[in-house]
Amino acid sequence: MTVDMAAPKPSVLAQFHALTKPRVIQLIVFCALIGMVLAVPGAPTAAQVLHAAVACFGIYLVAGAAAAFNCIVEKGIDAKMKRTAWRPTARGELSDTQTLIFSAMLCAAGSAILYLWVNPLTMWLTFATFVGYAVVYTVILKPLTPQNIVIGGASGAMPPVLGWSAMTGDVGPEALILFLIIFLWTPPHFWALALYRVEDYRKSGLPMLPVTHGSEFTRLQILLYTFMLLAACLLPFMYGMSSWLYLVVAVGLSLGFCGYAVQLLRNYSDELARATFRFSLIHLSVLFAALLLDHYLL
């Protein structure tokens, strides 16, 4: 007697949910929430909490729309890579038309929420981020230049700016400092992944830095960016946005990231690149969590 061990096909609802790249969206909304919290002095009022929740939902919808649109554009590339071959568009489980309609509905709903119940500036900044990621980065930059993740990283660095503008109606220097931190964090984070996934990227035809310039050059760039990131992570303390609690955490995390980068340059292994990638996620999450704690505790 034989048993069919094939995994059951996900429901259509689960497939659409997968298009939004939930883990990525969670980090985006978290970073936007940090911008919202830091924009409000002291404890927020009930009205401000509700306002922030509505803004987070609107940002979540538009970010999900951008992720879904990305799945349409990159379905051929996704199908060639182990990391992304499971996506519904790559497997042919959802058509381009279905995905495009889904993306458009999410974008329209999120934009309407932000315009009507948050403020027009946040809606336009969020829509510009959608265009920057889904069109400028995915369609133009990613297949064109190995610096795609550097230039396109501007879209990924926008969430705290969106959060700040949602609560204040403008973009202050504090928001730009948070933008700079994520902008400088993105290349070493993504290149660490690209190092141990280099064969996938080579098969896909994408000009990622390890493919076009080799492993050693990429590892040197990771080290240089972690040094710049260390300096940027000091700015919240230097500008007066935070106190010693954040500073201690920021220095410890950033030195740890630099340490991983030094090891990568000296003695590369795929396992070390994976560890560096995992640490980069911890770095950003804990760094912003420290900003949040510092804001309320000190």
The pLDDT tens digits of the residues spanning 145-200 come to 888 888 778 888 999 999 999 999 999 999 999 999 999 999 999 999 999 999 88
Reported residue count of the chain is 298
The CATH topology of domain 11-171 is Tetracycline Repressor; domain 2 (1.10.357)
Model confidence at 2: pLDDT above 50: no
User: 97 or 229: whose pLDDT is higher?
Assistant: 229
The CA angle 65-29-75, to the nearest 5 degrees, is 35
Is the pLDDT at 4 greater than 70? The verdict is no
The 10s digit of each residue's pLDDT in 20-67 is: 888 888 888 988 999 999 999 888 899 999 999 999 999 999 999 998
Looking at residue 32, its pLDDT comes to 94
**Whole-angstrom distance, CA of residue 32 vs CA of residue 26:** 10
Q: C-alpha 118: how far from its chain's center?
A: 22
When pLDDT is cut at 50, 70 and 90, the band that residue 8 belongs to is low
Q: Which residue has the higher pLDDT, 247 or 297?
A: 247
| 36 in Cβ contact with 167 (< 8 Å) | yes
Nearest to 209 by CA among 229, 193, 226, 228: 193
Check whether 6 has a pLDDT greater than 70.
Answer: no
What average pLDDT does this structure show over 202-207?
81
CA atoms of 133 and 179, how far apart (whole Å): 15
Question: Would the CA dihedral through 71, 142, 171, 115 be positive or negative?
Answer: negative
Give the pLDDT confidence score for residue 249 in this predicted structure: 97
Q: Does residue 1 have a pLDDT over 60? A: no
With vertex at residue 137, the alpha carbon angle to CA 196 and CA 253, rounded to the nearest 5 degrees, is: 50
Residue 5: pLDDT above 60?
Answer: no
Give 82-128 pLDDT, tens digit per residue: 666 667 777 777 788 888 899 999 999 999 999 999 999 999 999 99
Distances (CA, A) of 68 to 48, 61, 101, 141: 30, 11, 10, 18
Whether the CB-CB separation of 255 and 277 falls below 8 Å is answered with no
Please give the pLDDT value at position 86. Answer: 63
Q: Concatenated DSSP letters for 75-109?
A: HHHHHH-TTTTTSTTTTTSS-HHHHHHHHHHHHHH
pTM, two decimals, is: 0.88
* Nearest-angstrom CA–CA distance, 208 and 244: 38
Query: In angstroms, rounded to a whole number, what is the distance separating the alpha carbons of residues 133 and 103?
Result: 13
> What are the residue boundaries of the structural domains of the chain, listed by start?
11-171, 172-298
Enter the DSSP assignment of 43: S
Q: What is the pLDDT averaged over residues 284-292?
A: 92
Q: Contact 160/31 with Cβ under 8 angstroms?
A: yes
